[in-house]
Amino acid sequence: MTLRELAERLHCRLDGDAAIEVTRVTGIEHAGPGDLTFIANPKYHGFLETTRAAAVLVTPGVPRPANGPALLVCDRPYLAFAQALGLLVQASLPEPGIDPTSVVAADAQVGSGVSIGALAVVGAGARIGDRTVLFPGVVVGPGAVVGADCVIHARVSVRERVRIGDRVVVQDGAVIGSDGFGFARQQDGTHLKIPQHADVVIEDDVEIGANTTIDRPAVGETRIHRGAKIDNLVQVAHGVTIGQRTLLAAQVGVAGSTVIEDDVTLAGQVGVAGHLRIGKGVIATAQTGIPNSVDPGTLISGYPAIPNRDWLKSSAVFRNLPALKKRVVELERRLAELEEKLHACPPSSEG
């Protein structure tokens, strides 16, 4: 693709030779001739002098070095970079068709243009929407619904009656609709399993990471709202709601019945207790442990979670706690000395 065409498609202003051909998108350190790359962070502007890239996506106002690469100027270089990848990288989705080694129930409804890979299983009464791809080894349970234009990677479990919207991407090994962890303690101390047969709904445009698990509840539903993105090895317990556009990074765990509202970001390994409400736009930094509901718009950290600002300050004191303790001990010594002295000082000697 020429830079002229690329600039048009990405809505960028071009500073450089419009005829140059770009064939690959890559990181600025590895870029060579024919490569497009990007700089979103001003601290990397120095790379413009040295990169061998054909063109670089930058924000307005960045000067183009003499003999430097062509510049594609736009407000959001990272977003344009993502779009450029979509234009230049060949997605390698399999051709439509039902592999003869797959096992599709006679009464399953399979849309047009669907690809069902080798050894995939589609259960009785399940529905697979148009143009959706099931990779090898996927198991779709009886009565489950997968929408249109989904990509379900190898060896995913979509359990019975789970409902998945359109344009949903699920990475390998994820499990959607496993039994929630629900038991009632009996008088002899043993645990009676509470049957977990209620609903799981994955709305449109959700992405679910590799080996992530999303449980179904006993009653009510587990719901991942439209446009939420969930990374690998995340645990979403029974009855949880994940809001629109919310991001859950890898190894996050959300306990039962908690509601995560829209536009929340939980960084890696964050844990959220059950029956809470995490307000719209909350951001929790990595490993935060959240035992209580959180007001919208809060930035939190720590275990247990507190406002990030407080946590940073407290953590700074924490690392010097032994010194602080010594200062207290020293104060006690000096104060005792003073008290001793003052005891000798005549309290009633009026001036």
Q: Taking the complex as a whole, how short is the minimal distance between the CB of residue 26 and a second copy, in angstroms?
A: 4
Count of residues of this chain found to bind a second copy when the rule CB under 8 A is applied: 127
Residue from 10, 48, 134, 155 binding a second copy (CB under 8 A): 155
Would you give the end-to-end CA distance of the chain in angstroms?
95
Q: Taking the complex as a whole, how short is the minimal distance between the CB of residue 151 and a second copy, in angstroms?
A: 9
Among the listed residues 11, 153, 191, 238, the single catalytic one is 238
Q: Which residue has the tokens 């407080």?
A: 310
Residue from 61, 67, 112, 319 binding a second copy (CB under 8 A): 319
Return the residues of window 56-75 that contact a second copy according to CB under 8 A.
none
Residue from 220, 292, 295, 297 binding a second copy (CB under 8 A): 220
Distance CA 73, CA 198 (A): 51
* Interface region with a second copy, contact rule CB under 8 A, candidates 5-13, 51-59, 60-68, 88-96: 88-96
Which among 127, 107, 111, 232 has a CA at the least distance from the CA of 169? 232
Q: Taking the complex as a whole, how short is the minimal distance between the CB of residue 255 and a second copy, in angstroms?
A: 6
Distance CA 133, CA 130 (A): 9
Three-point CA angle 37, 43, 45, nearest 5°: 50
Return the residues of window 289-308 that contact a second copy according to CB under 8 A.
289, 291, 302-304, 306
Determine if 44 is a binding residue for a second copy (CB under 8 A).
no
When the beta carbons of 15 and 205 are compared against a second copy, the nearer one is 205
C-alpha dist (Å) from residue 14 to 6, 31, 35, 50: 9, 19, 15, 20
Question: Tokens for 245?
Answer: 């556009």
Indicate if 153 belongs to the active site.
no
When the beta carbons of 289 and 296 are compared against a second copy, the nearer one is 289
Q: Taking the complex as a whole, how short is the minimal distance between the CB of residue 54 and a second copy, in angstroms?
A: 14
Return the residues of window 246-265 that contact a second copy according to CB under 8 A.
247, 249-251, 253, 255, 263
When the beta carbons of 66 and 344 are compared against a second copy, the nearer one is 344
Q: Taking the complex as a whole, how short is the minimal distance between the CB of residue 12 and a second copy, in angstroms?
A: 14
When the beta carbons of 14 and 157 are compared against a second copy, the nearer one is 157
Distance CA 94, CA 128 (A): 16
Return the residues of window 11-30 that contact a second copy according to CB under 8 A.
25-27, 29-30
List the x/- string, 101-140, binding to a second copy by CB under 8 A.
x-x-------------xxx-x-------------xxx-x-
Q: Taking the complex as a whole, how short is the minimal distance between the CB of residue 66 and a second copy, in angstroms?
A: 27
Residue from 165, 209, 243, 279 binding a second copy (CB under 8 A): 209
DSSP β-ladder status, 55-58 and 103-104: unpaired
Residue from 4, 13, 52, 325 binding a second copy (CB under 8 A): 325
Residue from 43, 66, 106, 322 binding a second copy (CB under 8 A): 322
Return the residues of window 169-198 that contact a second copy according to CB under 8 A.
169, 171-173, 175, 178-179, 181-186, 189-195, 197
Question: Which residues does 87 contact at the CB level (< 8 Å), separation at least 6?
Answer: 1, 6, 9, 10
When the beta carbons of 51 and 171 are compared against a second copy, the nearer one is 171
When the beta carbons of 18 and 324 are compared against a second copy, the nearer one is 324
Residue positions annotated with a catalytic role: 238
